[in-house]
A and B are shown apart, each in its own frame.
Chain A
Amino acid sequence: MNVFRWESKHLIKELYQPKFLIGASLLRIALGIITLYIYLIHYQQRYALWHDSGYLSHAEYLETTITLPFSLYAYHTSSIYFDIIFHLGIIVAILFTLGYRTGVTSLFQFVFIWSLFERNGVILDGGDNILRIVLFYFIFIASSHYFSIQPSVTRKGTLSSFPEVKKIRNLIHNLAVFACAFQLIILYFMSGIYQVMGEMWQNGTALYYILQVEQFSMPYAQELLSSNLYLMVFATYFSIVIKLGFPFMLWNRYTKYIAIVCMFSFHIGIMFGMGLITFSLIMIALECILISDTEYRTLRHRISLMPRLILSWMRYRTRSLRRQSYITRKRMIIFYDSWCPLCQQVARRIRAIDTLGLIKLKTFRDPFLVNNYKIDPQAANERMIGIIEENKQQTEGFSTFFAMFKRIPLMWWSLPFLWIALKTGLGSTLYDSVASSRKIIPVGHCEDDCSIGEQSGKEKNV
Chain B
Amino acid sequence: MAKKLVFRVTSIFCITLFVGHFLFTLLDVIPFNPVSAKHNNQVYEYMEPLFNQTWELFAPDPVADNRTIYMQIKEENGEKSDWYDITSPKIEQNHSNLFSPHNRLVRIPTSSVISLFQEDSTSSLIKDNLTNEENHLTLEENLENHLDLHQERAKHKMYRYAFSEAGRLYEETNIAEVQLRLEITEVVPFSERNNEEYESESQYIEFPWEAYTNVASPY
Hey, which bits of chain A sit against chain B, CB under 8 A? 4, 38, 41-42, 44-45, 47-49, 51, 53-57, 60, 63-67, 70, 118, 122-123, 125-126, 129-130, 133, 136, 164, 167-168, 171-172, 175, 178-179, 182-183, 186-187, 190-191, 193-195, 197-201, 205-206, 208-210, 212-216, 218-219, 226, 271-272, 275, 277-278
Contacts and interface: CB of A to CB of B under 8 A. Distances in A.
Interface stretch (B25-33, B132-140, B175-183, B201-209): B25-33
A122 B108 contact: yes
11 contacts: A4-B9, A41-B99, A44-B218, A48-B218, A49-B105, A65-B49, A122-B111, A136-B51, A191-B56, A201-B59, A213-B187
Nearest to A215: B110
B101 A42 contact: yes
B7 A130 contact: no
Contacts of A191: 55-57, 59
Contacts of B107: 122-123, 125, 215
Given A66-B122, A206-B58, A277-B98, A55 B157 contact: yes
Interface in B180-212: 187-188, 190, 193
A211 to B, nearest CB: 9
Nearest to A162: B3
Nearest to A53: B216
Contacts of A209: 62-64, 187, 190
A-B pairs with lowest CB-CB distance, top 5? A198-B60, A212-B187, A194-B59, A45-B218, A48-B218
Given A190-B30, A208-B190, A54 B101 contact: no
Contact of A45 (B58, B95, B105): B105
Contacts of B31: 193-194, 197
Nearest to A209: B64
A219 B95 contact: yes
A200 B53 contact: no
B215 A122 contact: no
B48 interface: yes
Contact of B7 (A164, A178, A201): A164
B53 A133 contact: yes
A452 to B, nearest CB: 56
B193 to A, nearest CB: 7
A164 B111 CA distance: 50
A118 to B, nearest CB: 8
Interface of B: 3, 5-12, 14-15, 18, 21-22, 25-26, 29-31, 48-66, 88, 91, 94-95, 98-101, 103-108, 110-112, 115, 121-122, 153, 156-157, 160-161, 164, 187-188, 190, 193, 214-219
A122 B53 contact: no
Nearest to B91: A214
Given A54-B215, A133-B51, A206-B58, A168 B188 contact: no
Contacts of A54: 160, 164, 215-216
Nearest to B103: A277
A214 B63 CA distance: 11
A200 B157 CA distance: 31
Most chain B Cβ neighbours within 10 Å, of A4, A70, A122, A193: A122
Given A4-B12, A215-B107, 10 more contacts: A41-B100, A57-B160, A129-B53, A178-B18, A195-B59, A210-B58, A210-B62, A214-B88, A215-B110, A275-B98
B3 A186 contact: no
Nearest to B62: A210
B25 A205 contact: no
B61 A200 contact: yes
A194 to B, nearest CB: 4
Contacts of B108: 55, 122-123
Contacts of B121: 66
Contacts of B53: 129-130, 133, 187
A219 to B, nearest CB: 6
A212 B64 contact: yes
B159 to A, nearest CB: 10
A133 B28 CA distance: 14
A171 B15 CA distance: 9
Contact of B94 (A178, A182, A275): A275
Contacts of B122: 66
A216 B103 CA distance: 10
B30 A193 contact: yes
Nearest to A16: B11
A168 B160 contact: no
B218 A175 contact: no
A164 B4 CA distance: 8
Contact of B101 (A4, A41, A194, A199): A41
B176 to A, nearest CB: 20
B110 to A, nearest CB: 5
Most chain B Cβ neighbours within 10 Å, of A63, A182, A208, A213: A213
A175 B15 contact: yes
A78 to B, nearest CB: 14
B49 to A, nearest CB: 5
B50 A136 contact: yes
A453 B43 CA distance: 88
A386 B110 CA distance: 66
Given A55-B215, A275-B94, A60 B106 contact: no
B196 to A, nearest CB: 14
Nearest to A175: B18
A193 B115 CA distance: 23
Given A56-B160, A123-B104, A277-B103, A171 B11 contact: yes
A212 B192 CA distance: 13
B198 to A, nearest CB: 12
B160 A67 contact: no
A186 B29 contact: yes
A8 to B, nearest CB: 13
B188 A187 contact: no
A277 B171 CA distance: 35
Nearest to B10: A168
A212 B21 CA distance: 39
A56 B157 contact: yes
Contact of B49 (A67, A172, A226): A67
